[in-house]
Amino acid sequence: MPGWPVSAQTRLLVIAPHPDDETLGCGLLLQQVLAAGGDVRIILMTDGDNNPWPQRHLERRLIINDVARRRWGAKRRDEVMHALKQLGVPASALHPLGWHDMEVTRRLSDDLTGSIAAIRAVLEAFQPNLVCGPALRDSHPDHGAAHVLVRLALAGMDQAPALLAYLVHGAGDAPDCPLLIEAVAEQQPRKLQALAEHRTQMTLSGKRMRRLALSPERYMQVDTQVGDGRLPWRPPAVLHRWLRLLVATPAGVRDWPWLEAPLVRDADGSFRLEGAACRPVFVKLHLDWPSPWIFDHWGWREITTTLPLHGEEEIGPKLG
């Protein structure tokens, strides 16, 4: 299937959780919108400051304190500016939010109203007709949470823009990413030049990142999900005491211990969530213990419910 049509009327907003996501996910699309005479903006959620292994390797240090993290984030912010220049994107198109790397899920949980307001401010100022952000099922926790925040920011808009999703972690020729954008003319070399500006990331992950950058860009069109409210997981009972269920809707956020969540178990062994009064409804299953593995095992999913509702207070407070 061909890629998304662009023209001089295209106003593209790219959501990048970290420096380099704008290039890996949308480097060709950004160039093609600009070549067609359209306009672009990029929301950079974090500066990628919590990225310890490349920093340890390049700086020859073991302990990374707050000062070192801030310095690393400033370096990565500088890299993204150089990358955008290679793509032909003006510096004024970048809107950095300054959030902390690996903490987008925490922001979603602790300050949903403020996090959505930061995204909506750019939406209202730029008025995009196309938004491109991370896929919900991207296994990096910042990416999945970024998708949820963007969807909640778009919820209730009178004229919501079209929404495309790109996949960075867990990428491949996925059948559910049918929109394909091929490079034309010098766009592929420029994308590679932009990627090379992210020197901190290329140090340890250069081979994987170049492989992604040399592939066509694949997107899925995001539509509201419909279904019967079933959760996609059937976690083993031995884990139940350590599991938590994070639920995010336009009404708010709740993070329940699995054994206290408002779940109904069907005869076939599947679970359904009761009490989600607002669409969209996003759920995340996670373990309540620390782990050195940063990627999500279960991650986020979107569901709907058809069970009797308990009211919005069951999920959380209304957004201001």
Tens of pLDDT, residue by residue over 234-255, are 999 999 999 999 999 888 999 9
pLDDT for the residue 124: 96
CA distance 134 to 142: 9
Location of structure tokens 């009404």? 251
Is residue 190 within 8 Å of 88, Cβ to Cβ?
Answer: yes
Q: What residue ranges of the chain have pLDDT lower than 70?
A: 1, 171-176, 224-228, 275-278, 305-320
Report CA dihedral (189, 219, 43, 5) to the nearest 10 degrees.
Answer: 80
The domains of the chain, with CATH numbers, are 11-221 (3.40.50.10320), 237-314 (no CATH)
Mean pLDDT of the chain: 89
pLDDT for 318 equals: 31
Residue 224: per-residue pLDDT:
66
Q: What pLDDT score does 278 carry?
A: 65
User: Which residues contact residue 15 at a Cβ distance below 8 angstroms, ignoring those fewer than 6 apart?
Assistant: 42, 43, 45, 119, 131, 132, 133, 134, 146, 150
CB 19 within 8 A of CB 84: no
Each residue of 140-149: b (16+ CB within 10 Å) or e? bbbbbbbbbb
Closest by CA to 282, choosing from 299, 266, 301, is 301
